[in-house]
Structure 1
Amino acid sequence: MRNHKNYLLTLNQPPTIAPQNASIGKIYDWNAGESFTVVNVVSSQSPWAKSVHVLATRDNAYSAQNLQNSRLLYRSSDEQSESREVIGITELD
């Protein structure tokens, strides 16, 4: 991921809480033992929406080739937290 670039993350399951837009989320890359901060840009809660639009906050080595066992941690507007496995990543710009 590159600083100030937009990405669409595909999750293994839809969120059961709506990730708060413009809030800070984290991607935990268990294989590399690293975590990356992202900003939730557009998110929704629905039984079919498995994608989250995020903005990278710094350059890092995270990509579609090394996302195995990675999770996105996010919070709702009422501070509930949840995580989902990331199964796909698409660069938007």
Structure 2
Amino acid sequence: MSVYPSLTRALAEALVDILWFVEGCEDDQMNPDEAVKVLEVATHLGTQLSSDQRVEFIGLIRFMAAEESDPSRREFLESFPEGFGLVEEES
């Protein structure tokens, strides 16, 4: 039995784990220019999702945030949709 209820959830978890790592890296752990490139690619991919895909992904991220026990990771997840271009930032 899989830990994840769907492939979409597994991939969302993997993407978030990678981006959480990259965003939290110190300069001596990862070249800052390369880190920015990774984050930009992820943001671009998020903007390429269809409306239905975006809604599904945001729902998964919000569900993951609600389940998260680590306060800093929960904050990362809560800001993920805006930070990665999935929704318009509120002014």
Higher helix share: 2
TM-score, normalised via structure 1 length = 0.25
| Relative contact order higher in (CA < 8 Å, ≥ 6 apart) | 1
- Higher strand fraction (1 or 2): 1
